[in-house]
Structure 1
Amino acid sequence: MPAHHPLPSSQPHPEATSTEIHLDARLVLGEVESVDVPVRFGYRSDDPLAVALEFLGLAADAGTWRFSRDLLWEGLQKPAGLGDVRIWPPCTCHGRAALRIMLRNRDNVVLIDLPSRQVRRWLRREAFVLVPPGTESSAIDWDAELHGLAS
Protein backbone atom coordinates (compact mmCIF):
# COMPACT_ATOMS: atom_id res chain seq x y z
CA MET A 1 0.00 0.00 0.00
CA PRO A 2 1.57 3.33 -0.96
CA ALA A 3 1.85 6.16 1.53
CA HIS A 4 -1.51 7.82 1.87
CA HIS A 5 -0.86 10.98 3.86
CA PRO A 6 2.83 11.84 3.80
CA LEU A 7 4.39 14.06 6.40
CA PRO A 8 4.91 17.64 5.24
CA SER A 9 8.18 18.00 3.38
CA SER A 10 9.00 21.29 5.08
CA GLN A 11 11.41 21.38 7.97
CA PRO A 12 9.89 21.65 11.45
CA HIS A 13 9.63 25.13 12.93
CA PRO A 14 12.81 25.89 14.95
CA GLU A 15 10.87 26.19 18.22
CA ALA A 16 8.84 23.06 17.52
CA THR A 17 8.89 20.19 19.94
CA SER A 18 7.92 16.66 19.17
CA THR A 19 7.27 13.28 20.69
CA GLU A 20 7.07 9.79 19.31
CA ILE A 21 6.37 6.28 20.45
CA HIS A 22 7.43 3.00 18.87
CA LEU A 23 4.89 0.20 19.13
CA ASP A 24 4.47 -3.38 18.05
CA ALA A 25 1.25 -3.51 16.07
CA ARG A 26 -0.61 -6.49 14.67
CA LEU A 27 -1.52 -6.33 11.00
CA VAL A 28 -4.85 -8.14 10.73
CA LEU A 29 -4.80 -10.44 7.71
CA GLY A 30 -7.98 -12.37 8.40
CA GLU A 31 -10.34 -13.47 11.12
CA VAL A 32 -7.67 -15.56 12.87
CA GLU A 33 -4.49 -14.52 11.08
CA SER A 34 -2.24 -11.53 11.85
CA VAL A 35 1.41 -10.57 11.71
CA ASP A 36 3.53 -8.28 13.91
CA VAL A 37 4.61 -4.98 12.38
CA PRO A 38 6.59 -2.17 14.00
CA VAL A 39 5.03 1.30 13.83
CA ARG A 40 5.81 4.75 15.15
CA PHE A 41 3.35 7.42 16.21
CA GLY A 42 4.69 10.95 16.04
CA TYR A 43 3.37 14.32 17.11
CA ARG A 44 4.85 17.78 16.50
CA SER A 45 3.85 21.01 18.17
CA ASP A 46 4.12 22.86 14.84
CA ASP A 47 1.47 20.53 13.37
CA PRO A 48 -0.80 20.50 16.43
CA LEU A 49 -3.92 18.98 14.91
CA ALA A 50 -2.40 15.77 13.54
CA VAL A 51 -0.58 12.64 14.57
CA ALA A 52 1.51 10.64 12.14
CA LEU A 53 1.42 6.84 12.04
CA GLU A 54 4.47 5.48 10.24
CA PHE A 55 4.93 1.84 9.29
CA LEU A 56 8.49 0.59 9.81
CA GLY A 57 10.58 -2.40 8.81
CA LEU A 58 9.12 -4.74 6.22
CA ALA A 59 5.80 -2.86 6.41
CA ALA A 60 7.40 0.48 5.45
CA ASP A 61 5.70 0.30 2.03
CA ALA A 62 2.44 1.10 3.82
CA GLY A 63 3.94 4.55 4.33
CA THR A 64 3.02 7.28 6.76
CA TRP A 65 -0.55 8.24 7.53
CA ARG A 66 -1.53 11.59 9.07
CA PHE A 67 -4.85 12.02 10.81
CA SER A 68 -6.47 14.00 13.58
CA ARG A 69 -5.08 13.73 17.09
CA ASP A 70 -8.65 14.23 18.33
CA LEU A 71 -9.80 11.32 16.16
CA LEU A 72 -7.21 9.05 17.75
CA TRP A 73 -8.30 10.13 21.24
CA GLU A 74 -12.00 9.72 20.41
CA GLY A 75 -11.31 6.26 18.96
CA LEU A 76 -9.87 5.16 22.30
CA GLN A 77 -13.30 5.87 23.86
CA LYS A 78 -15.80 4.88 21.14
CA PRO A 79 -15.93 4.03 17.42
CA ALA A 80 -14.76 7.09 15.51
CA GLY A 81 -13.97 8.28 12.01
CA LEU A 82 -15.42 8.25 8.55
CA GLY A 83 -13.83 7.58 5.21
CA ASP A 84 -10.20 6.58 5.02
CA VAL A 85 -9.39 6.39 8.77
CA ARG A 86 -11.65 4.65 11.27
CA ILE A 87 -10.83 3.69 14.83
CA TRP A 88 -12.43 1.28 17.31
CA PRO A 89 -11.65 1.05 21.02
CA PRO A 90 -10.88 -2.26 22.70
CA CYS A 91 -13.93 -4.49 22.78
CA THR A 92 -13.68 -7.03 25.58
CA CYS A 93 -17.13 -8.43 24.75
CA HIS A 94 -15.62 -9.64 21.46
CA GLY A 95 -12.30 -10.65 23.02
CA ARG A 96 -10.28 -7.78 21.50
CA ALA A 97 -8.14 -5.85 23.99
CA ALA A 98 -6.41 -3.72 21.35
CA LEU A 99 -7.18 -0.42 19.69
CA ARG A 100 -8.12 -1.15 16.06
CA ILE A 101 -7.39 1.27 13.24
CA MET A 102 -8.59 0.85 9.66
CA LEU A 103 -6.67 2.72 6.97
CA ARG A 104 -8.10 2.82 3.48
CA ASN A 105 -7.03 4.30 0.17
CA ARG A 106 -8.63 3.71 -3.20
CA ASP A 107 -6.80 0.40 -3.71
CA ASN A 108 -6.35 -1.19 -0.27
CA VAL A 109 -7.66 -1.52 3.25
CA VAL A 110 -5.38 -2.24 6.21
CA LEU A 111 -6.50 -3.17 9.72
CA ILE A 112 -4.02 -2.87 12.55
CA ASP A 113 -4.35 -3.56 16.25
CA LEU A 114 -2.33 -1.45 18.69
CA PRO A 115 -1.81 -1.64 22.44
CA SER A 116 -4.47 0.82 23.61
CA ARG A 117 -2.92 1.54 27.02
CA GLN A 118 0.37 2.61 25.48
CA VAL A 119 -1.35 4.84 22.91
CA ARG A 120 -3.57 6.41 25.60
CA ARG A 121 -0.58 6.99 27.91
CA TRP A 122 1.48 8.55 25.10
CA LEU A 123 -1.32 10.93 24.16
CA ARG A 124 -1.97 11.97 27.77
CA ARG A 125 1.60 12.24 29.01
CA GLU A 126 3.34 13.53 25.90
CA ALA A 127 1.20 14.79 23.00
CA PHE A 128 -1.37 16.58 25.20
CA VAL A 129 1.43 18.04 27.31
CA LEU A 130 3.13 19.58 24.25
CA VAL A 131 -0.14 21.14 23.03
CA PRO A 132 -3.07 20.83 25.43
CA PRO A 133 -6.45 19.94 23.91
CA GLY A 134 -8.32 23.08 22.87
CA THR A 135 -5.16 25.16 22.41
CA GLU A 136 -4.12 23.81 19.01
CA SER A 137 -5.00 26.98 17.08
CA SER A 138 -2.67 29.07 19.25
CA ALA A 139 0.21 26.72 18.32
CA ILE A 140 -0.25 27.31 14.57
CA ASP A 141 1.92 29.90 12.84
CA TRP A 142 -0.91 31.54 10.93
CA ASP A 143 1.38 33.94 9.06
CA ALA A 144 3.38 31.02 7.67
CA GLU A 145 0.19 29.16 6.77
CA LEU A 146 -1.21 32.17 4.91
CA HIS A 147 2.11 32.71 3.17
CA GLY A 148 2.07 29.06 2.07
CA LEU A 149 -1.42 29.44 0.64
CA ALA A 150 -0.48 32.62 -1.21
CA SER A 151 2.62 31.08 -2.80
Structure 2
Amino acid sequence: MSTVIEQAVRARLVASAPRMESVPATLRYDRRDPFAVQMAFPAQAALEGVEVAWAFSRELLTAGMDEPAGVGDVRVRPFGYDRTVVEFHAPEGVAMVHVRTSEVRRFLQRAQHLVPAGCEHRFLDLDRDLAELLRDAR
Protein backbone atom coordinates (compact mmCIF):
# COMPACT_ATOMS: atom_id res chain seq x y z
CA MET A 1 0.00 0.00 0.00
CA SER A 2 1.33 3.40 -0.96
CA THR A 3 2.10 5.83 1.84
CA VAL A 4 1.85 8.95 -0.32
CA ILE A 5 -1.08 10.53 -2.15
CA GLU A 6 -0.54 13.16 -4.83
CA GLN A 7 -3.30 14.87 -6.74
CA ALA A 8 -2.89 17.44 -9.48
CA VAL A 9 -5.27 20.40 -9.27
CA ARG A 10 -5.77 23.60 -11.23
CA ALA A 11 -5.38 26.66 -9.06
CA ARG A 12 -6.58 30.09 -10.12
CA LEU A 13 -4.00 32.63 -9.05
CA VAL A 14 -5.63 35.82 -7.80
CA ALA A 15 -3.41 38.78 -8.63
CA SER A 16 -3.79 42.51 -8.19
CA ALA A 17 -4.66 42.66 -11.89
CA PRO A 18 -8.32 41.97 -12.70
CA ARG A 19 -7.62 38.72 -14.58
CA MET A 20 -7.07 35.39 -12.89
CA GLU A 21 -4.37 33.05 -14.19
CA SER A 22 -4.69 29.27 -13.93
CA VAL A 23 -1.60 27.49 -12.64
CA PRO A 24 -0.91 23.81 -12.01
CA ALA A 25 -0.53 22.72 -8.41
CA THR A 26 -0.14 19.43 -6.58
CA LEU A 27 -1.75 18.45 -3.31
CA ARG A 28 0.35 15.89 -1.44
CA TYR A 29 -0.24 13.79 1.66
CA ASP A 30 2.34 11.43 3.19
CA ARG A 31 1.29 9.20 6.07
CA ARG A 32 4.83 9.50 7.49
CA ASP A 33 3.83 13.10 8.28
CA PRO A 34 0.19 12.37 9.11
CA PHE A 35 -0.89 15.78 10.37
CA ALA A 36 0.27 17.74 7.31
CA VAL A 37 -0.58 18.27 3.67
CA GLN A 38 1.49 20.05 1.05
CA MET A 39 0.50 22.25 -1.83
CA ALA A 40 3.27 22.58 -4.40
CA PHE A 41 3.59 24.92 -7.37
CA PRO A 42 6.02 24.36 -10.27
CA ALA A 43 8.83 26.80 -11.04
CA GLN A 44 6.91 28.53 -13.85
CA ALA A 45 4.16 29.48 -11.36
CA ALA A 46 6.52 31.02 -8.78
CA LEU A 47 8.06 34.48 -8.79
CA GLU A 48 11.50 33.10 -7.88
CA GLY A 49 11.49 30.60 -10.75
CA VAL A 50 11.86 27.57 -8.46
CA GLU A 51 9.28 25.06 -7.25
CA VAL A 52 7.51 26.24 -4.12
CA ALA A 53 5.81 23.90 -1.64
CA TRP A 54 3.82 24.95 1.40
CA ALA A 55 3.12 22.48 4.21
CA PHE A 56 0.18 23.04 6.53
CA SER A 57 -2.30 21.18 8.67
CA ARG A 58 -4.69 18.71 7.08
CA GLU A 59 -7.19 19.85 9.71
CA LEU A 60 -6.80 23.47 8.51
CA LEU A 61 -7.58 22.47 4.92
CA THR A 62 -10.60 20.45 6.06
CA ALA A 63 -12.01 23.23 8.25
CA GLY A 64 -11.35 25.96 5.68
CA MET A 65 -13.64 24.42 3.09
CA ASP A 66 -16.65 25.22 5.29
CA GLU A 67 -15.61 28.37 7.18
CA PRO A 68 -12.60 30.68 7.37
CA ALA A 69 -9.70 28.98 9.15
CA GLY A 70 -6.13 29.86 10.00
CA VAL A 71 -4.39 32.90 11.43
CA GLY A 72 -0.79 32.30 10.38
CA ASP A 73 1.11 31.88 7.15
CA VAL A 74 -1.64 29.76 5.56
CA ARG A 75 -5.32 30.64 5.66
CA VAL A 76 -8.20 28.79 4.02
CA ARG A 77 -11.80 29.82 3.39
CA PRO A 78 -14.76 28.91 1.23
CA PHE A 79 -15.61 31.08 -1.77
CA GLY A 80 -18.83 30.77 -3.73
CA TYR A 81 -20.44 27.48 -4.62
CA ASP A 82 -17.45 25.23 -5.35
CA ARG A 83 -14.27 27.16 -4.60
CA THR A 84 -11.85 27.13 -1.72
CA VAL A 85 -9.40 30.00 -1.30
CA VAL A 86 -5.94 29.23 0.05
CA GLU A 87 -3.86 32.25 1.09
CA PHE A 88 -0.10 31.97 1.55
CA HIS A 89 1.41 34.80 3.62
CA ALA A 90 5.16 35.44 3.36
CA PRO A 91 7.43 38.45 3.99
CA GLU A 92 7.43 39.06 0.20
CA GLY A 93 3.63 39.33 0.10
CA VAL A 94 0.47 37.27 -0.12
CA ALA A 95 -0.37 34.69 -2.76
CA MET A 96 -3.99 33.69 -3.06
CA VAL A 97 -5.31 30.76 -5.09
CA HIS A 98 -8.79 29.40 -5.77
CA VAL A 99 -9.15 25.61 -6.00
CA ARG A 100 -12.29 23.62 -6.72
CA THR A 101 -13.70 22.46 -3.41
CA SER A 102 -14.74 19.17 -5.02
CA GLU A 103 -11.07 18.46 -5.86
CA VAL A 104 -9.99 19.30 -2.31
CA ARG A 105 -12.71 17.04 -0.87
CA ARG A 106 -11.65 14.17 -3.14
CA PHE A 107 -8.03 14.61 -2.04
CA LEU A 108 -8.99 14.69 1.64
CA GLN A 109 -11.18 11.59 1.25
CA ARG A 110 -8.20 9.74 -0.21
CA ALA A 111 -6.05 10.92 2.71
CA GLN A 112 -8.79 9.82 5.12
CA HIS A 113 -8.59 6.27 3.69
CA LEU A 114 -4.82 6.28 4.19
CA VAL A 115 -4.90 7.79 7.72
CA PRO A 116 -8.28 8.34 9.38
CA ALA A 117 -8.66 11.73 11.07
CA GLY A 118 -8.04 11.33 14.79
CA CYS A 119 -5.68 8.38 14.24
CA GLU A 120 -2.66 10.35 13.04
CA HIS A 121 -0.70 9.58 16.22
CA ARG A 122 -0.66 5.90 15.26
CA PHE A 123 1.42 6.70 12.18
CA LEU A 124 4.12 8.74 13.90
CA ASP A 125 7.57 7.15 14.03
CA LEU A 126 9.02 8.98 17.02
CA ASP A 127 12.21 6.89 17.03
CA ARG A 128 12.94 7.80 13.39
CA ASP A 129 12.10 11.47 14.02
CA LEU A 130 14.35 11.62 17.09
CA ALA A 131 17.19 9.94 15.19
CA GLU A 132 16.84 12.55 12.41
CA LEU A 133 16.91 15.39 14.94
CA LEU A 134 20.01 14.01 16.62
CA ARG A 135 21.72 13.38 13.28
CA ASP A 136 20.96 16.95 12.15
CA ALA A 137 22.28 18.36 15.44
CA ARG A 138 25.81 17.03 14.80
Q: CA deviation at 1:148?
A: 2.5
Q: How far apart in 1 are the matches of 2:72 and 2:17?
A: 22
Q: CA deviation at 1:50?
A: 0.6
Map of 1:7-86 to 2, 5 A cutoff? 17-30=3-16, 32-56=18-42, 58-60=44-46, 61=50, 63-86=52-75
Q: What amino acid is aligned across from residue 41 of structure 1 in structure 2? A: L
Deviations 1:12-71 (A, max 9, x none): xxx861111101110001373210100000001111011010002511536000000110
Q: Could you tell me how far apart the structure 1 residues matched to 2:60 and 2:17 are?
A: 25
Letter in 1 for 2:114: L
1:1-12 matches, within 5 Å, as none
Matched residue pairs, number? 132
Q: Compared with structure 1, are the counterparts of its residues 20 and 117 closer, same or farther at alpha carbon in structure 2 (3 Å cutoff)?
A: same
Contact kept? 1:24, 1:39, Cα under 8 Å: yes
> 2 CA distance for matches of 1:136 and 1:41?
18
SS of the aligned residue for 1:111 comes to strand
Contact 1:74 1:80 in 2 (8 A): yes
TM-score of the superposed pair, with normalisation by structure 1: 0.80
**Is 1:42–1:52's contact at 8 Å kept on the other side of the alignment?**
yes
Q: What aligned pairs does 1:49-128 form with structure 2 within 5 A after superposition?
A: 49-56=35-42, 58-60=44-46, 61=50, 63-92=52-81, 97-124=82-109, 126-128=110-112
Query: In structure 2, do the counterparts of structure 1 residues 105 and 114 end up closer, same or farther at CA, with 3 Å as the change threshold?
Result: same
Partner of 2:131: 147
Query: Structure 1: which 5+ residue stretches go unaligned?
Result: 1-14
Structure 2: unaligned runs, 5 residues or longer = none
From the superposition, tell whether residues 31 and 89 of structure 1 become closer, same or farther in structure 2 (CA, over 3 Å): farther
Q: Percent identity?
A: 35
